[in-house]
């Protein structure tokens, strides 16, 4: 970064997977990073990695679907690291099932983390962004937004995040805030490992099968997504807003 003071970023669901890779990447880019996840202790290894490399980071425990926990967490970040002007809404869960077997709890849980979570976090953080006259919000959507068997809840939430992204881009642009979404395809994380386990397929076989259907013939890595986040939150990406970029090794898969 070339600008004056270091900026503060919050990455949700950052104890592992895509969120952890994003936290590490943003720290390397010069941001102070709040590593937020359900359990603060689980964030410690990522925070330690960042601080031992000379960066600034804070472990924050919060459930993004809990309004009070979100308000407290964002206030702690502002106190501990400075006004959060970058937010990456990455926390996510899956509760897959075919519609006729999907419980109401599984529907609500997925909506709660992805949609309510992104809403609560964005509403809390935008105060700091509009005050600063600068901000970046990046929402994690998915190729599942285009439809995916067994994921009625998840695909609805991920499609919803795309509409949310475009609307926030319209509302917040005049304050210097850009809002974009990334729709990953298959990324090697505990989330995809859990899907393989649920289907009774060894993860390596599952990845090979997925890679054979992906134009670039490999599955994605968390760093592929972190790199795209890094672009969206950069100073020079200020004219890119309301966009959804599919990071999937091809047009959509
Ligand atoms: P992951 O490995 O399962 O990590 C998700 C993280 O989010 C976990 O650390 C989890 O904490 C945390 N989390 C869950 N619920 C939370 C809540 N209510 N509040 C705060 N944190 C919470 O997932 P990932 O694969 O890295 O995925 C990251 C994002 O990318 C998700 O939004 C996912 O939907 C999206 N995505 C992933 C893929 C993929 O192929 N992996 C593809 C498309 C989109 P716990 O460990 O405590 O549960």
Reported as a single tens digit per residue, the pLDDT across 102-159 is 999 999 999 999 999 999 999 999 999 999 999 999 999 999 999 999 999 999 999 9
At how many degrees (to 10) do helices 190-199 and 203-212 cross? 100
Average pLDDT over residues 162-167: 98
pLDDT number for residue 1: 47
The bridge status of strand 8-12 relative to strand 244-247 is unpaired
Query: What pLDDT score does 4 carry?
Result: 55
Residues 6+ apart with CB under 8 A from 143: 183, 184, 185, 246, 248, 252, 253
Pocket of ligand 1 (CB under 6 A): 12-13, 15-19, 37-39, 63-65, 90-93, 113, 117, 140, 142, 184, 186-187, 189-192
3 pLDDT more than 80: no
Mean pLDDT value across residues 57-72: 98
Distance 221 CA to ligand 1 centre (A): 14
3-state class (DSSP) for residue 190? helix
Q: Indicate which atom in ligand 1 lies nearest the CA of residue 186.
A: 40
Closest CA to 252 of 204, 220, 205: 220
Residues 189, 13 contacting (CB under 8 angstroms): no
What atom in ligand 1 is closest to the CA of residue 154? 34
Average pLDDT over residues 198-203: 96
């Amino acid at each position: 970064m070339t600008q004056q003071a270091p900026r503060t970023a919050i990455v949700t669901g950052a104890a592992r997977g895509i969120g952890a890779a994003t936290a590490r990447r943003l720290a390397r880019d010069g941001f102070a990073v709040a590593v937020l996840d359900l359990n603060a202790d689980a964030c410690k290894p990522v925070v330690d990695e960042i601080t031992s490399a000379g960066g600034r980071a804070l472990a924050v425990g919060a459930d993004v679907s809990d309004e009070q926990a979100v308000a407290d967490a964002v206030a702690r970040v502002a106190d501990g690291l400075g006004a959060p002007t970058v937010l990456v809404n990455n926390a996510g869960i899956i509760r897959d099932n075919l519609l006729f077997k999907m419980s109401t709890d599984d529907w609500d849980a997925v909506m709660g983390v992805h949609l309510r979570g992104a809403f609560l976090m964005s509403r809390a953080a935008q105060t700091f962004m509009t005050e600063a006259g600068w901000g970046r919000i990046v929402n994690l959507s998915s190729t599942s937004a285009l439809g995916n068997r067994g994921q009625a809840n998840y695909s609805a939430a991920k499609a919803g995040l795309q509409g949310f992204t475009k609307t926030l881009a319209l509302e917040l642009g005049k304050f210097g805030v850009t809002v974009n979404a990334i729709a990953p395809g298959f990324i090697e994380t505990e989330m995809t490992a859990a899907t393989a386990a649920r289907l009774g397929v060894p993860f390596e076989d599952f990845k090979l099968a997925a890679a054979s259907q992906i134009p670039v013939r490999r599955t994605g890595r968390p760093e592929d997504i972190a790199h795209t986040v890094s672009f969206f939150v950069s100073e020079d990406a200020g004219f890119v807003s309301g966009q959804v970029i599919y990071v999937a090794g091809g047009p959509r898969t």
